[in-house]
Amino acid sequence: MSTRSNIIIKAKGCKAILYHHYDGYIEGVGQDLVNKLDKYFNSDNYCYWSDVVNMLVKDKKDDGYEITRGIHGDIDYLYTIDTDEKTIKFQRVNYNVKGNEWKQTFGRKHDVVTELLKRQKVKERC
């Protein structure tokens, strides 16, 4: 079973939504986003949201990012990249049954880099 995710890329009222069909967990897509955005976020230059979108979807068959119209109904993670703030946040997505319908609920936002560092420290202790 694939771990699906959506990625919202936003800045100053503009936004794009991407979908990634597999490896949506923190050590997968989360780490990939951190690696790819490092040069944008660790620079004094302004980071344009459109540059981030273009960089992520440039080679769809290798990286699996594709532009989509909205939040998919079967994702496990939702990532939000704010190019103004130069942050990458994630939320776990849960599903509850209400009557005959599934309802998506989104957990609180966490910083991806902080979470990756925490998980690395736990691995080092083991």
Strand 110-111 with 14-20, pairing: unpaired
* Domain residue ranges of the chain, discontinuous segments joined by +: 5-125
Which residues of the chain, if any, have pLDDT below 50?
Answer: none
pLDDT score, position 2: 86
pLDDT score recorded for residue 113: 94
CB 116 within 8 A of CB 27: yes
Is beta strand 87-98 parallel, antiparallel or unpaired with respect to 101-106? Answer: antiparallel
Digit-coded pLDDT (tens) for 42-66: 888 888 889 999 999 986 566 789 9
- Tokens standing for residue 14: 């503009």
Task: Report the alpha-carbon distance of residue 6 to residue 68 in Å, rounded.
Answer: 9
pLDDT of residue 21: 92
pLDDT of residue 97: 83
Q: By the 8 A CB rule, do 8 and 80 touch?
A: yes
